[in-house]
Amino acid sequence: MRNLKTILEYDGSRYKGWQKQADNDLTVQGKIESSLSKMAGERIEVAGCERTDVGVHAENYTANFHTDCDLSIDAIMDYLYESLPDDIVVKSMVEASERFHVGYNIKSITYVYKISNSEQRNVFNRKYVYNSEMKLNIDEMRITAESLVGTHDFQYLATVSPNTKSTVKTINYINITEENNIIEIEINADDFLWNMVRIIMGSLLEVGKGKINAMDIEKLLTETTASAYIPMAKAKGLALRGVEY
């Protein structure tokens, strides 16, 4: 069978996340599998690199699937372009080795969180950025971000399930930039726990708003109730930027 590696872009606004569910097909994975299975005349299962949450977007999402379909890659991409909803696009596709799987041998994952730091929300980007009407202190946010870089136990800044193997993760960098009142927080790590990115972004927002002291970051990492009093950042501002293998 052929093993095809794909890079996707999708607007997660109307989807219940990446992973298909038994009670509905309003997921990105479900939409792609439906299109591919109809095209190939066989049941195709698509593996994804991450389980993005409800409303989260992706700029470069890596997926792979096996198929006996003998259509050319160009023909498959043309079919998907026409059959998929307008908010999902296959950006590229290549033949991969038989053993390649998008969930294995991941070196790092990058997410980006976008914030509109303006008194009035922008009607044209409202689905893709979180609007903070309160002026954020970026310098304090950077101090906090720098303290999170490195290897730490993030169990209190995430939602941890009983079958989680390890809550120790390494954040390689957190870059915070601002241009034309749009703040971008780019975070790269070897792996992320469930809700870890959104809770970290929520922490940075609370610091930026002056509700949490930037120097209290160690308390956030060791405080058992941290995830309870830190509001998770809104999903709409978050996008998976890419995965490195």
Q: For residue range 39-56, what is the model confidence (pLDDT) as tens digits?
A: 999 999 999 999 999 999
Q: Radius of gyration of the chain from Cα atoms? A: 19
Q: Of 164, 220, 224, 231, which Cα lies nearest the Cα of 191?
A: 164
pLDDT tens, position by position, 161-174: 888 889 999 999 99
Q: Of 105, 87, 111, 94, which Cα lies nearest the Cα of 240?
A: 111
The single residue of 23, 25, 53, 68 carrying the catalytic annotation is 53
- For residue 87, pLDDT over 90 is answered with yes
* Residue 24 confidence (pLDDT): 63
Residue 92's H or E segment, with its range, is strand 88-96
Q: Of 241, 242, 239, which Cα lies nearest the Cα of 13?
A: 239
Q: Give the residue carrying structure tokens 């219940």.
A: 16
Phi, psi of 74 (to 5 degrees): -60, -40
Give the dihedral sign, CA 112/169/198/200. negative
* Residue 23 confidence (pLDDT): 62
- Tell me the CA distances in angstroms from 176 to 92, 113, 163, 186, 235, one per residue in order: 29, 9, 33, 6, 18
Alpha carbon 153 to its chain's center:
20
Residue 143's H or E segment, with its range, is helix 138-148
SS3 of the chain: helix, strand, coil, percent, to 5: 25, 30, 40
Alpha carbon 145 to its chain's center:
18
Q: Name every residue whose Cβ is closer than 8 Å to that of residue 134 and which is 6 or more positions away in sequence.
A: 209
**Known catalytic residue: 153?**
no
pTM score of the predicted model: 0.93
Q: Which domains does the chain have, with CATH numbers?
A: 2-96 (3.30.70.580), 108-244 (3.30.70.660)
pLDDT tens, position by position, 114-154: 999 888 888 888 899 999 988 999 999 999 999 999 999 99
3-state secondary structure 220-232: HHHCCCHHHHCCC
